[in-house]
């Protein structure tokens, strides 16, 4: 096995070349490929983080139609931007892009810095995005390391340390540097990411048909489905949200979610969060409920079943209450709007789904 590792370490560049040859035959035809325009590369890379290409493509087109360049993005109204982003999740990405666009316009006259070191100083551009822009747009030889690259390298070299911990990342980065084809780093980075997305997939990859199976440590050692190793990080917390969809004539009430929590900047119905499960009858007796309705007795017309949403470190248990009142409800930061206007506001996907559901019931 020692000899094998020695050979593997010394054919890194050849493996990099093989990945590029594979890429030229197998790459998907995507609108941001083969562009040298850093803005388009940036938008595509940010949208594709945590998102499948099939889903991201539609968002990419809508985003570029609305904000074709860095200047239009810098001028964007954040509510409109979040509306375009609605459903894509990880909304901090959109807010960070907005802040970064303003910074690039204000400080660099709208031109992206041409190096990794310059890009990484911009708030909202992290290691992955800086590497992608620097290599694909500016030809700088910096490896991109995302989930796909972690998986390919961990399997190829049999990395047994957790890839989400510093020791594992250090090893991955060493191999990523060695594999890099330095005269075409942008193509190489796209090749290894595409190889991870299409060939070296998370579950049951087709190793028998893989161009690298003769040198792949995981394949030779029967470790394919064990690698990469990831250590569990934060404890998963369960939260309970009760949304009050209040009808006051043809009007309703919403509010903007504050900073420092999930879905910052999106809109939602008045909401009561409880620390544990609580049934509809008990909910109407707690002070938080009464604070919305003061003296009046609201009519609860319907209560949805419990909807479960899994986010990275949280499980959300959500119910919607359809309520009719004859006086406005009161509550901090509530806005009264015509009920039909809610479609203009960016809302979390779970609320969007709920609105679509009740719309089909009403028709």
C-beta closer to ligand SF4: residue 137 or 154: 154
Q: Which residue has the tokens 């099939």?
A: 54
Single residue of 20, 120, 210, 339 touching ligand SF4 by CB under 6 A: 210
Does 40 contact ligand SF4 by CB under 6 A? Answer: no
User: Quick one: tokens of 190?
Assistant: 């796209």
> Applying CB under 6 A, what is the total number of residues that bind ligand SF4?
14
Specify whether the CB–CB gap between 155 and 222 falls below 8 A.
no
- Binding part of the chain for ligand SF4, among 101-109, 177-185, 218-226, 244-252 by CB under 6 A, reads 218-226
Single residue of 44, 189, 190, 199 touching ligand SF4 by CB under 6 A: 199
CA distances from 2 to 5, 8, 217, 218 (A): 5, 10, 12, 15
Q: Radius of gyration (Cα) for the chain, nearest Å?
A: 25
CB of 7 to ligand SF4, least distance (A): 16
Does 350 contact ligand SF4 by CB under 6 A? Answer: no
User: Quick one: tokens of 73?
Assistant: 């993005």
Site string for ligand SF4, 100-139 (x = CB under 6 A): ----------------------------------------
Question: Cis link prior to 129 (omega < 30° from 0)?
Answer: no
C-beta closer to ligand SF4: residue 175 or 321: 175
CB of 157 to ligand SF4, least distance (A): 10
Give the Cα separation of 176 and 173 in Å (integer): 5
C-beta closer to ligand SF4: residue 130 or 218: 218
CB atoms within 10 A of CB 251: 15
User: Quick one: tokens of 188?
Assistant: 């190489």
Give the Cα separation of 44 and 50 in Å (integer): 12
Site for ligand SF4 in 155-174 (CB under 6 A): 155-156
Give the Cα separation of 48 and 56 in Å (integer): 6
Given the residues 9, 13, 24, 45, the one annotated as active site: 45
Single residue of 11, 207, 278, 339 touching ligand SF4 by CB under 6 A: 207
Does 141 contact ligand SF4 by CB under 6 A? Answer: no
Does 212 contact ligand SF4 by CB under 6 A? Answer: yes
Does 213 contact ligand SF4 by CB under 6 A? Answer: yes
Does 334 contact ligand SF4 by CB under 6 A? Answer: no
Specify whether the CB–CB gap between 352 and 358 falls below 8 A.
no
Phi, psi (degrees; rounded to nearest 5) at 171: -65, -45
Does 205 contact ligand SF4 by CB under 6 A? Answer: yes
Closest CA relative to residue 329, chosen from 240, 245, 242:
245
Look up residue 332 and give its DSSP letter: T
CB of 188 to ligand SF4, least distance (A): 16
Based on the residue annotation, tell me whether 45 is a catalytic residue of this protein: yes
Does 269 contact ligand SF4 by CB under 6 A? Answer: no
Q: Parallel, antiparallel, or unpaired: how do β-strands 307-310 and 299-303 relate?
A: unpaired
C-beta closer to ligand SF4: residue 14 or 335: 14
Q: Which residue has the tokens 């239009």?
A: 72
Give the Cα separation of 252 and 334 in Å (integer): 10
User: Quick one: tokens of 8?
Assistant: 């593997």
C-beta closer to ligand SF4: residue 224 or 254: 224
Does 11 contact ligand SF4 by CB under 6 A? Answer: no
Which amino acids are annotated catalytic? 45
Contacting residues toward ligand SF4, per CB under 6 A:
152, 155-156, 199-200, 205, 207, 210, 212-213, 216, 218-219, 224
């Amino acid at each position: 096995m020692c000899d094998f590792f020695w050979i593997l370490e010394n054919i890194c560049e050849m493996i990099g070349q093989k990945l590029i040859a594979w890429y030229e035959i197998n790459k998907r035809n995507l609108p941001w490929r083969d562009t040298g325009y850093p803005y388009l590369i940036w938008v595509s890379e940010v949208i594709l983080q945590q998102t499948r290409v099939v889903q991201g493509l539609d968002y990419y087109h809508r985003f570029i139609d609305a904000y074709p360049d860095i200047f239009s993005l810098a001028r964007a109204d954040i509510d409109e931007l979040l509306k375009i982003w609605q459903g894509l999740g990880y909304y901090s990405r959109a807010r960070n892009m907005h802040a970064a666009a303003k910074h690039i316009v204000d400080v660099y006259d709208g031109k992206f810095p041409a190096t990794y070191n310059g890009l990484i100083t911009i708030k909202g551009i992290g290691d992955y995005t800086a590497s992608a822009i620097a290599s694909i747009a500016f030809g700088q030889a910096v490896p991109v390391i995302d989930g796909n690259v972690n998986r390919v390298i961990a399997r190829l070299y049999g990395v047994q340390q957790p890839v989400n911990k510093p020791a594992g990342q250090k090893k991955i980065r060493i191999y990523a540097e060695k594999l890099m084809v330095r005269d075409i780093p942008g193509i190489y980075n796209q090749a290894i990411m595409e190889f991870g997305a299409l060939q070296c997939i998370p579950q049951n990859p087709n190793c028998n048909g893989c161009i690298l199976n003769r040198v792949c440590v995981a394949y030779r050692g029967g470790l394919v489905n064990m690698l990469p190793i990831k250590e569990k990080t934060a404890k998963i917390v369960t939260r309970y949200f009760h949304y009050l969809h209040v009808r006051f004539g043809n009007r309703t009430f919403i509010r903007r979610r504050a900073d420092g929590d999930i879905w910052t900047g999106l809109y939602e119905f008045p909401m009561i969060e409880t620390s544990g499960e609580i049934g509809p009858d008990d909910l109407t007796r707690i002070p938080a409920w009464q604070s919305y309705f003061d003296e009046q007795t609201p009519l609860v017309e319907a209560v949805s079943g419990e909807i479960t949403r899994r986010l990275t470190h949280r499980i959300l248990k959500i119910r919607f209450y359809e309520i009719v009142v004859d006086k406005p409800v009161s509550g901090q930061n509530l806005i009264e709007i015509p009920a039909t206007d809610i479609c203009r506001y960016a809302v979390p996907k779970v609320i969007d789904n709920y609105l679509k559901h009740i719309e089909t019931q009403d028709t």
